[in-house]
Amino acid sequence: MAVNMYSFFLPLNIVKYQPSFIEITLSILAVLPTRERDALENWIDGLSEQQRKSIRFVSTDMWAPYRQAAQRKLGHATLVADRFHVMKQLNSRITQLRSAIQHQSSEEVASLLKGSRWILVRNRCDLTAKDEAQLQKILALCPELRTIYLLKEEFRCIFEKIDTREKAHKFLTTWVVKAQFTGNKYLSKFLTTLKNWWNEILNYFIGNTTNGFVEGLNGAIRNIIRSAFGYRNFENFKLRLFAGYGFPTNPR
């Protein structure tokens, strides 16, 4: 059976080493056999005390075992929920709403919504003129979708424009009130996620730490697996990743 990269790649960005210890560099520090808490904690335990203390920020997707491991083993570091994963959660709720409306609407509206997923989840500033024209039609015919879409764009702008945690707290709190007022059941599910990860989401605004580098590697890793027709041996898979993207020391 081929090795699944998501079982072994560590989608957690441990960054911000103090310059006195090591120069900041973008590379894979570890490839672990599972994505469970124990595996990550064991890896952290293998670091020297100086290495652990030098870690200032830990950026992770919203997978509870990662948060638990970071809290237990790197309590001094600031834990950050990756903003792109947060946005992905909100976009998934918009997609669910679009799908529900599509199945309940007239043939005209259903036809307009068909294939419009990426128009609705893509940043509005990145839409082509053709996409924007279709978006305008969708928003005009689907008021509920329009409300949630505009909230999505407002949410995104908070992350792009606000530069302090204090300001972000105020803007996000106001946004939550607006979202609650809609009474939308799909948005309500996102609000639960927001509440559960509130502090970690706000921590993004301290240093703008993200998982961008880690996520950017996903495509490259898929190509590695594809070119090898999969990996049956974890050690071979790990060494191949270190050869291409690893930190310049002996991999562990």
Q: Are strands 12-15 and 78-81 parallel, antiparallel or unpaired?
A: unpaired
The predicted structure's pLDDT at residue 247: 55
Q: Are 47 and 248 in contact (CB under 8 A)?
A: no
Q: Exposure of 24 by Cβ count < 10 A (0-12 exposed, 13-18 middle, 19+ buried)?
A: exposed
Q: Tally helices (H) and strands (E) across the chain.
A: 15, 3
At residue 10's C-alpha, the angle toward residues 68 and 163, to 5°, is: 70
What number of other Cβ atoms are within 10 A of residue 126's Cβ?
7
The predicted structure's pLDDT at residue 95: 96
Q: Are 84 and 215 in contact (CB under 8 A)?
A: yes
The predicted structure's pLDDT at residue 104: 92
Could you please report the per-residue DSSP string of 20-88? TT-----SB--B-S-SSHHHHHHHHHTS-HHHHHH--EEEE-S-HHHHHHHHHH-TTSEEEE-HHHHHH
The predicted structure's pLDDT at residue 25: 53
Rounded to whole angstroms, the Cα distance separating 224 from 241 reads 8
Closest Cα partner for 99 from 57, 148, 150?
148
The predicted structure's pLDDT at residue 8: 34
Rounded to whole angstroms, the Cα distance separating 114 from 202 reads 35
Q: How far apart are the first and last CA of the chain?
A: 23
At residue 175's C-alpha, the angle toward residues 116 and 177, to 5°, is: 115
Q: Exposure of 177 by Cβ count < 10 A (0-12 exposed, 13-18 middle, 19+ buried)?
A: exposed
Residues ≥6 apart with Cβ < 8 Å to 96: 186
Distance of CA 247 to the CA centre of its chain: 23
Q: Are 252 and 43 in contact (CB under 8 A)?
A: yes
| Positive or negative torsion for Cα 205, 147, 194, 115 | negative
Tens of pLDDT along the chain (252 residues) come to 122 233 333 444 444 333 333 334 567 777 788 888 998 899 899 989 988 888 888 888 898 999 999 999 999 999 999 999 999 999 999 999 999 999 998 998 999 999 999 999 999 999 999 999 999 999 999 999 999 999 999 999 999 999 999 999 999 999 999 999 999 999 999 999 999 999 999 999 998 988 877 777 777 777 777 877 777 887 888 788 777 776 555 444
